[in-house]
Structure 1
């Protein structure tokens, strides 16, 4: 399985979420995507580079997910 990561769209802050009321993100998260706590859309290039680097190191699936979560923060829990 290939992990899917979601970052918050709060442009006014340099990291994390302020609230999970972005309904467009709740659906993917409930479907298994991982919302990263410590980054937002301002950090997409950093996240993409980290994912590519981890893939280049041979990480896939759960190992890839764990590497990205460790780098960019504990996933945010969303009520189901």
Structure 2
């Protein structure tokens, strides 16, 4: 959705900084702002309208040869997810 406004950002860190600075509402993953939510620096709005996501999804063409860098990324994500889920 293209929203008209004075500030448009595509970097999560910049969005968090802008929200902490009072620039307005921000749509971010909870893991990006969990500390700020916990300390009260930010508050969640429209929580009833925000579906809970079970995690991160990574889509890539499994039928083609994947570069070593992509295979390493997938292995790293799987390793970290298995640690978190334990």
Would you say same fold, with TM above 0.5?
no
Larger of the two Rg values belongs to structure: 2
TM norm structure 2: 0.23
Q: Which has the higher contact order (CA 8 A, sep 6+)?
A: 1
Considering fraction of residues, name the structure with more strand. Answer: 1
